[in-house]
Amino acid sequence: MSDATYRIGVDIGGTFTDLVLLNQATGALLNGKVLTTPDDPSRAVLDGIRALLRQHDVPPAAVGNVIHGTTLVANALIERKGVKTALITTSGFRDVLEIGREWRYDLFDLQLEMPPPLVSRQNRFELTERLAPNGEVITPLDEAAAAALARQLADSDIAAVAVVFLHAFKNPAHERRVKAVFAEHAPGLNVCLSSDVSPEIGEYERSSTAVANAYVQPLFRRYVADLAAGIRDLGIARDLFLMLSDGGTVHRSAAVEYPIRLVQSGPAGGAQAASLHGRLAGESELLCFDMGGTTAKACLIEQGRPSRTTSFEVARMFRFAKGSGLPLQVPVVDMIEIGAGGGSIARLDRMGLIQVGPDSASSDPGPACYGLGGTEPTVTDADLLLGYLDAGSFLGGDMALDVEKAEAAIRARIAEPLGISAVEAAWGIHETVTENMAQAATIHALEKGRKVEGYRLVPIGGAGPVHACSLAAKMGIGRLICPTGAGVASALGLLASPTAFEFVQADMQPLDGLDFTRVEAMVRDLAARGRELLAASDVAEANMAAEYSVLMRHVGQGYEVEVPLTLETIAAADAATIADRFARVYHDLYGRNENMAPEVISWRVVVTGPTPDLSLDASTAGAGPAAKKERQVYFAETGGFTPTPVHARDGLSATDTLAGPAIVEERESTLVVPPGWTVRPHASGNLILDRT
Amino acid sequence: MTDISPVRLGLIWQRLNGMIDEVAESFIRTSFSSVVRENSDMAFSLLDRQGRQFIQTRRSIPSFIGTLPRTLRAILEVYPEDTLQPGDVLISNDSWLGTGHLNDITMVHPIFRHGRIVAFAGSTAHTVDIGGAPSPTAKDCYEEGLCIPVCRIVEAGVENRTVVAFLQENLREPDETLGDIRAQFAAYRMATEKLFQLLDDEGIEDLDAVIAEILSRSEASMRRTIADLPDGEFSDEMTVDGFDHPLTVKCAIRIAGDEIAVDFAGTSPQIDRPVNCVMNYTYAYACYALKCALDPTAPNNDGSFRPITVTAPDGCLLNARRPAPVWGRHLSGHYVPPAVFGALARVVPDRVAAESGSPLWNVYFKGRNEATGKPFVKMFFMNGGHGARPSSDGPGCLSFPSNVSNQPIEQFENQVPLLVTEKAFVPDTGGAGRFRGGPAQRLSFRSVAESPITMTIRHERIVYPPRGLLGGGPGSAGRDLVNGEAIPAKAQVALRPGDVATFQTPGGGGMGPPADRPPELAAADRAAGLVTSDGEAA
């Protein structure tokens, strides 16, 4: 890649499309930001790339590849803008998609609404066929009926079809046959098979996943084709890669087969950025904390990699409540998301106490201090009143904040009803939202059998660094790694991600008596498919690595744990080693072992290319103005407002160390350093904060 | 700390909530009981020295609302405060002292600090087996399993071997039950550490002032809510299937100023079949229904429920006396919320729902799996249609008032020799109305075993379907069939190889006059096939 000096990462967010251009030879990073174009998101991407290349005088031919993180898939599901889709199921089961799991996500709300299925009942069809749990055919597929249905749908306004047969993850023959019949009788229809999209056990979740994939696929295919053509037209010879939800990237040709795997494409970039910054600072156990305007997300990074899960929910209908969205069985970075952002609204609850979020003033009308008509106090208003944010330097001074409006809102809605000062009320808002986030992240870690205390916090997002120290203190975390450019972290994360593709294949069996011959053939086949995909993404065979693991539990348990294995262990039919590894992982998570038989639920294979070796250029440190300002900032530790030095991030030299209280400002974010914390620059350009 | 600022109180309260959720989560993660893990069939609480609950896990299920204080007070009668020492854990699963059946084990642990009790940590968790031979035809509570009287399972940090030995010898899965019990001991230690950390951080000796504020603010909030309702007495009466003859559930709600009294006078006497309900369970579900209708955000603490009294005549179906069998307490207890809603509908019709297809339906399948050579017992849950709401249709097949999810069919078929041949909505089963009740579902199971499978069935709403509200029509009644022939709704039935059992849950009741149904909703129902052209909804 001698001519490919540059790589570009593009992350589309709700308001802005962020771009980073990395010079691979020097490590220099150039950022760009353009307004997102919701009607056609590719326009902002192409305009942004064109502007960035022109601004820095980079010839398009010198760009190696463009890696893209997109919210297109998530938005199409949230806004229900996919194509009209049909579902074909085993006879007797077309309503599984609507019946769901039958539990209420809110115990007390009698008026709760369940998410309507993406396919309405009249577009759900049944075919006669039945497989046994072991995959044997009990009732053969009625092919004549399949052909008739294909012809019927070809003549309708249906644009995509999902096929979900019971136990098809164990034997895809009937689903594949339907696809073949459709190819013959309804050649224009986009057909997705559950055994391809999500070969996992659980008919409802698999149906939901296959349907969502079918629903967004035509849109996504068109979008990617247009974008790829646009990039070629710009003169960038190489191709477009996309970020998957689990933090791997793939060539566009693989991405369009499984668009549902891009549902968390952007947030995965943020987690990868945190991993990168941790790696550069020599830390591998991290808690990535991404706080924006509407929500906060937290993700554990272990051994330098974002932790993953294979279950996700998109388009939650109610207050981010688990169970109120559409479940997806796809590999994703495991994140918790709560309604706690800069725009989160503070109010008094029925107990007469401060409650923050989960609803947000978002960008319209926005926090009261934006002066756009918002009258409800938000977290940003509180942060402004406390001196954490500066009225004159928000977004580099491009957006003046109105302290009086912030104070008026807090006074009217919180302080006066409580009979306290506006500053006390602001402190209450700040602490309440921080405690919300601390609890959510702590419980998220506990659910994974982890304790947050041992992790380093990496704050990103516009509001992350404002709350980071206070959050860390509440969780018992003593060290922070604060990256530069926290506001465009996701785009950089795209560049830091390896090309990788993951397969999960369900195959429920007791470990005792496991059919290893079949399992070995199966995982070898998955690895071969992964290698093919990576080869198509320009990864050389020699640079590919395959990782194997098995999801296991004790018979009768409801949770699986992931046990890493080698192919050799599988090939040697070494059940004893697997049992031993399982016992170790289980003990690690739960602190004990059970005297019960283990069973295997599914197998996981990830084929990975090399992780890009990014080194960032920190030589800009100290380049900015060293002039220090000072302002009054509120700290509980000092009992109130304290004169606090304000540093410009790019004005800090590579050797300066600071002690709190201090404020470090950059264009898109502000780092608040309370008393009791020290700051030192790291060679990577990151700041390391330690609690003394 | 007599005068605590609202900001500080809010933060401490929030921290207590987070702390108890963390404790519960770490227990759930290690629990053996599948209903604990998958349906949060457990509760953790903090209570003060008077046994007043001030914090409860947000995830716990309705039947545990407000029962722990009652259990703790009963325990303190046996072991008064001055007999307790640091490291003690007291236990009981007495149906009358706890949540109404033996499978829920309740324990409490005094948290001592500087020589005095600052709080009690308490928990209730479901255990899968409690010994005995519970059957749908049980005549008294002694058939239902092992009753653990109030006793000290841990004395000053040392397990009482006698108590443990009794458990060990009377349970089918003692390791699992004891494993869960010991996991709760660990959770109490965690709660203690976190509570001490909080006290240290705040620089306070105890929580007395905080607790007083939490309880009084919660109480004041509930009183304001009730005071906004018109005074008066509103009642409802429903007829339910019962065991072999219909029974009556009668509910009167008296609203006077800022207090509510719920009384079940007029309800049928208890019967000698396991459909009776103890007072604690009746209380929990009455409070639950009021919370849903009046203030879904009210915290679960003694303050919120202080303005509410719940009574039922001694010896009636909803306040059964020993030794009544109570194993299937939900078969009457799940009628409490619809009875409360029926009465409330006369005063706040916009805050209740029509009747749902509950009590919860389930089937125990018991037999032998030739493939593995092992016996199996498997419980399968299925929910009916949800009742219509004031401004929307009832969702199809949503669990109410309990909150129990189904199990994936693909997993079920991997575990037992049964083939599910359908799981589908049944047209014309949701009650007609301005807003329609949720449709029922039908499930059929074909035995692919080589020997008979015993099904234990305890189903309600076969005779008396869920009622509609405010002019809405009833949902459809439930049906139990084997090979197309009706079978008894509360019985053990053998399913022979090749037989097909079919269960159709009840449909939800409708709300408001059917004539007022918006035409576009009616058209959508017909297009979806949920209402057929030749019939209005059931």
Task: Give contacts of A203 with chain B, Cβ < 8 Å.
Answer: 408-410
Under an 8 A CB cutoff, do B10 and A428 touch?
yes
Q: Note the pLDDT of residue A655.
A: 77
Q: What is the band of A587 on the pLDDT scale with cuts at 50, 70, 90?
A: confident
Is residue A247 within 8 A of residue A276, CB to CB? The reply is no
Nearest to B405 among A102, A432, A508 (CB): A102
Question: Roughly what angle, to the nearest 10 degrees, separates helices B208-227 and B279-294?
Answer: 70
Residue with the larger pLDDT of the pair A581 and A34: A581
Environment class of B255 (CB within 10 Å of its CB; exposed 0-12, middle 13-18, buried 19+): buried
Q: Note the pLDDT of residue B537.
A: 44
Q: State whether residue B69 is helix, strand or coil.
A: helix
Q: Check CB contact of A692 with chain B, cutoff 8 Å.
A: no
Residue A117: C-alpha distances to residues A120, A124, A203, A406, B4 (Å): 6, 11, 14, 42, 49
Q: Does A618 have pLDDT greater than 70?
A: no
Compute the distance between CA of residue A237 and CA of residue A234 in angstroms, rounded to an integer.
9
Q: Note the pLDDT of residue A647.
A: 92
Q: Which of A270, A311, A263, A302 is nearest to A289 (CA)?
A: A270
Q: Check CB contact of B374 with chain A, cutoff 8 Å.
A: no
Residues 6+ away with beta carbon under 8 Å from B115? none
Compute the distance between CA of residue A163 and CA of residue A206 in angstroms, rounded to an integer.
10
Under an 8 A CB cutoff, do B392 and A111 touch?
yes
* Closest residue on chain B to A355 (Cα): B10
Compute the distance between CA of residue B82 and CA of residue B84 in angstroms, rounded to an integer.
6
Q: Check CB contact of A439 with chain B, cutoff 8 Å.
A: yes
Tokens of B190: 């965690």
Digit-by-digit pLDDT tens for chain B (538 residues) are 457 899 999 999 999 999 999 999 888 877 877 778 777 789 999 999 999 999 999 877 888 888 999 999 999 999 999 999 999 999 999 999 999 999 999 999 999 999 999 999 999 999 888 998 878 788 999 999 999 999 999 999 999 999 999 999 999 888 889 989 999 999 999 999 999 999 999 999 999 999 999 999 999 999 999 999 999 999 999 999 998 899 999 999 999 999 999 999 999 999 999 999 999 999 999 999 999 999 999 999 999 999 999 999 999 999 999 999 998 999 999 999 999 999 999 999 999 999 999 999 999 999 988 877 788 888 899 999 999 999 999 999 999 998 888 989 998 998 899 999 999 999 999 999 999 999 999 999 999 999 999 999 999 999 999 999 999 999 999 999 999 999 999 999 999 999 999 999 999 999 999 999 999 999 999 999 999 965 444 4
- How does DSSP assign A488-511, residue by residue? GHHHHHHHTPPBEEEEEEEEEEES
pLDDT tens digits, one per residue of A512-567 = 989 999 999 999 999 999 999 898 888 899 999 999 999 999 886 777 889 999 99
Compute the distance between CA of residue B386 and CA of residue B356 in angstroms, rounded to an integer.
4
Environment class of A559 (CB within 10 Å of its CB; exposed 0-12, middle 13-18, buried 19+): middle
Q: Does A619 have pLDDT greater than 90?
A: no
Tokens of B519: 């035409």
Q: Which residue blocks in B31-128 are alpha helix, DSSP H?
A: 34-39, 67-78
pTM comes to 0.93
Sheet (strand B308-311) strand order? B232-240, B247-256, B259-263, B308-311
With vertex at residue B6, the alpha carbon angle to CA B3 and CA B8, rounded to the nearest 5 degrees, is 85
Under an 8 A CB cutoff, do B411 and A508 touch?
yes
Q: Check CB contact of B37 with chain A, cutoff 8 Å.
A: yes
Q: Check CB contact of B228 with chain A, cutoff 8 Å.
A: no
| CATH number, domain A81-216 | 3.40.1360
Q: Note the pLDDT of residue A616.
A: 73
Is residue B379 within 8 A of residue B362, CB to CB? The reply is yes
Q: Which of the four CATH numbers 3.30.420.40, 3.40.50.300, 2.60.40.10, 3.10.20.30 does domain A6-77+221-262 have?
A: 3.30.420.40
SS3 letters across A51-105 = HHHHHCCCCHHHEEEEEEECCHHHHHHHCCCCCCEEEEEECCCCCHHHHCCCCCC
Compute the distance between CA of residue B300 and CA of residue B45 in angstroms, rounded to an integer.
10
Is residue B431 within 8 A of residue B537, CB to CB? The reply is yes
φ/ψ of residue B33, rounded to 5: -75, 120
If one counts every other C-beta atom within 10 angstroms of the C-beta of residue B117, the result is 16
Q: Note the pLDDT of residue A136.
A: 97
* Closest residue on chain B to A94 (Cα): B424
Is cis: bond before A625, omega within 30 of 0?
no
Classify strands A240-243 and A63-69 as parallel, antiparallel or unpaired. Answer: parallel
Nearest to B529 among A122, A442, A447 (CB): A122
> Which of A110, A318, A347, A359 is best to mutate for the B interface (most B CBs within 10 A)?
A110
Q: Note the pLDDT of residue B118.
A: 96
If one counts every other C-beta atom within 10 angstroms of the C-beta of residue A144, the result is 10
Q: Note the pLDDT of residue B379.
A: 86
Q: Note the pLDDT of residue A182.
A: 98
Is residue A429 within 8 A of residue A375, CB to CB? The reply is no
pLDDT tens digits, one per residue of A146-162 = 999 999 999 999 999 99
Classify strands A160-164 and A190-193 as parallel, antiparallel or unpaired. Answer: parallel
Under an 8 A CB cutoff, do A435 and B11 touch?
yes
* pLDDT above 90: percentage of residues in chain A: 69
pLDDT tens digits, one per residue of B170-181 = 998 888 899 899
* Closest residue on chain B to A323 (Cα): B405
Q: Check CB contact of A99 with chain B, cutoff 8 Å.
A: yes
Averaged pLDDT for residues A98-120: 93
Is residue A681 within 8 A of residue A654, CB to CB? The reply is yes
Instruction: Note the Cα A153 to chain centre separation in Å.
Output: 35
Q: Which of B379, B508, B492, B393 is nearest to B441 (CA)?
A: B508
Q: Note the pLDDT of residue A416.
A: 97
pLDDT tens digits, one per residue of A258-304 = 999 999 998 899 999 999 999 999 999 999 999 988 889 999 999 99
Under an 8 A CB cutoff, do A111 and B25 touch?
no
Tokens of A400: 């003046």
Under an 8 A CB cutoff, do B7 and A354 touch?
yes
Under an 8 A CB cutoff, do B29 and A449 touch?
yes
Q: Mean pLDDT across chain A, nearest whole number?
A: 91
Under an 8 A CB cutoff, do B396 and A98 touch?
yes
Averaged pLDDT for residues A485-502: 86
* Closest residue on chain B to A433 (Cα): B11
Instruction: Note the Cα B488 to chain centre separation in Å.
Output: 25
Residue A472: C-alpha distances to residues A271, A453, A671 (Å): 18, 9, 13
Classify strands A687-691 and A677-681 as parallel, antiparallel or unpaired. Answer: antiparallel
pLDDT tens digits, one per residue of A181-235 = 999 999 989 999 999 999 999 999 999 999 999 999 999 999 999 999 999 999 9
Domains of chain A by residue range: 6-77+221-262, 81-216, 284-497+614-692, 500-608
Q: Note the pLDDT of residue A621.
A: 53
Compute the distance between CA of residue B463 and CA of residue A205 in angstroms, rounded to an integer.
35
Compute the distance between CA of residue A638 and CA of residue A622 in angstroms, rounded to an integer.
30
N residues, chain B = 538
SS3 letters across B445-476 = EEECCCCCEEEEEECCCCCCCCCCECCCCCCC
**A window 482-521, beta carbon within 8 A of B:** 508
- Amino acid symbol at B89: V
- Per DSSP, which regions of A515-613 are E strands? 545-554, 561-565, 598-608
Q: Note the pLDDT of residue A401.
A: 92
Tokens of A49: 């790339």
Q: How many CB pairs under 8 A join A and B?
A: 188
SS3 letters across B196-212 = HHHHHHHCCCCCHHHHH
pLDDT tens digits, one per residue of A621-667 = 555 556 568 999 999 989 899 999 999 888 887 778 899 899 999 87
Under an 8 A CB cutoff, do A508 and B295 touch?
no
Provide ipTM, 2 decimals: 0.93
Q: Check CB contact of B34 with chain A, cutoff 8 Å.
A: yes
Compute the distance between CA of residue B130 and CA of residue B139 in angstroms, rounded to an integer.
17
Residue with the larger pLDDT of the pair A535 and A689: A689
Classify strands A160-164 and A85-90 as parallel, antiparallel or unpaired. Answer: parallel
B251 beta partners: B236
Q: Does A96 have pLDDT greater than 60?
A: yes
Compute the distance between CA of residue B382 and CA of residue B403 in angstroms, rounded to an integer.
11
Q: Which of the four CATH numbers 3.30.1490, 3.40.30, 3.40.720, 1.10.3470 does domain A500-608 have?
A: 3.30.1490
Compute the distance between CA of residue A17 and CA of residue A492 in angstroms, rounded to an integer.
12
Environment class of A535 (CB within 10 Å of its CB; exposed 0-12, middle 13-18, buried 19+): middle
Q: Which residue carries 């509410």 as its tokens? A: B308
Is residue B333 within 8 A of residue B285, CB to CB? The reply is yes
Q: Check CB contact of B517 with chain A, cutoff 8 Å.
A: no
Averaged pLDDT for residues A347-355: 94
Under an 8 A CB cutoff, do B18 and A353 touch?
no
Q: Which stretch of A234-238, A246-250, B311-315 has the lowest confidence by average pLDDT?
A: A234-238
Residues B444-468: b if buried by 16+ CB within 10 A, e if exposed: bbbbbbeebbebbbbbbbbebbbbb
Task: Give contacts of A424 with chain B, Cβ < 8 Å.
Answer: 5, 7
User: Which of the given ranges, A236-240, A311-315, B318-322, has the highest pLDDT on average?
Assistant: B318-322
